[in-house]
Amino acid sequence: MSSALQSRLEHALACAQAGGDLTLEYFSTGVIAADRKGDGTPVTVADRGCEELIRRMIRERFPDDGLLGEEFGDEEPAGDSEYRWIIDPIDGTFSFMHGVPLYTTLIGIEDVGSGEIVAGVVRAPALDEVVYARTGGGAWHRVGSADPRPARVTATGTLAEATVSSTSLDYWDDASEWNRLHARSAHTRGWPDAYAVLLVATGRCDAVVESNVHPWDIAPFGPILSEAGGRSTDWRGRTTAHTDSVIASNGRLHDELLAFFDRRS
């Protein structure tokens, strides 16, 4: 499995590079029009073009693997393939549309038998920064053309000492929960979307808490955080990406955050 998974991780990195580069062609223009999807969220020609490119690259190399993407839905695995790719071409479309360089391209690779995400990539194209991992292979961080370096989480031990991020109160059903978390934490920030998880994996933030998410929003987080020494679960403590909430932490804070939300029943 490790060689098959390693080859997919290497291809995921190439896909995230190519797809992210495509988004930069639009980002650099400063003029990015958007449509509204049925749920009211924005989508641009760059979102669609990036996902189409990534799907095409996956199909050329691994034609039997399954695909699940934000813009073009689900395709089941064929034959005896053990893998499904979960794609978010632009996580942080709002940032992208407003010229903020903190959007990311996300790819997770799921073992369809176990339902576990076993490899993942988070790339910030406008910053030329990427963090990636596969189960048992360590987590790695690369900026520009520099050699990859191991990605490691912080050693912060308590919420009272921690910096905690969440994208926006817009995504919280109950803002009072965030206000209580803010009061319990040393610092809170609004670093957006998956970029904040990249910061956790590389020791620059202690935890990220989000609600109202989809599988493509969080798929890469599990293996990346685990291999970097942290944890990623939903508010109930489940490791699945098929859920609507996420806590991504340095691991040391995780049980305290789960107890804070107490959603495991």
Position 41 scores a pLDDT of 76
SS3 per residue for the chain:
CHHHHHHHHHHHHHHHHHHHHHHHHHHCCCCCCEEECCCCCEEEHHHHHHHHHHHHHHHHHCCCCEEEECCCEEECCCCCCCEEEEEEEEECHHHHHCCCCCCEEEEEEEECCCCEEEEEEEEEHHHCEEEEEECCCCEEEEECCCCCEECCCCCCCCHHHCEEECCCHHHCCCHHHHHHHHHHCCEEECCCHHHHHHHHHCCCCCEEEEECCCHHHHCCHHHHHHHCCCEEECCCCCCCCCCCEEEEECCCCHHHHHHHHCCCC
Per the structure block, which two tokens stand in for 32?
A: 């990015």
CATH 3.40.50.150: does it fit domain 159-261? no
Distance, CA of 191 to CA of 203 (rounded, Å): 14
Distance, CA of 43 to CA of 240 (rounded, Å): 26
Distance, CA of 264 to CA of 143 (rounded, Å): 37
Q: Do 133 and 228 meet the contact criterion of CB atoms below 8 Å apart?
A: yes
Predicted TM-score (pTM) of the model is 0.94
Fold match between 2-150 and 159-261?
no
Distance, CA of 165 to CA of 10 (rounded, Å): 29
Summarised one tens digit per residue, pLDDT across range 234-245 is: 999 999 999 999
How far from chain centre, in Å, is Cα 60?
Answer: 24
Summarised one tens digit per residue, pLDDT across range 32-88 is: 777 777 676 778 899 999 999 999 999 999 999 999 999 998 899 988 899 999 999
Average pLDDT over every residue of 169-181 = 89
What are the residue boundaries of the structural domains of the chain, listed by start?
Answer: 2-150, 159-261
Q: Under the phi-then-psi rule, with left for phi > 0, alpha for psi from -120 to 50, and beta for the rest, what region is 128?
A: left
Average pLDDT over every residue of 93-101 = 92
Amino acid present at 209: V
pLDDT of residue 264 exceeding 50? no
- Average pLDDT score, the chain: 94
Domain 2-150, CATH class in plain words? alpha beta
Residue 244 main-chain phi, psi, to 5 deg: -120, 15
Residue 28 binned pLDDT confidence (cut-offs 50, 70, 90): confident
pLDDT of residue 263 exceeding 60? no
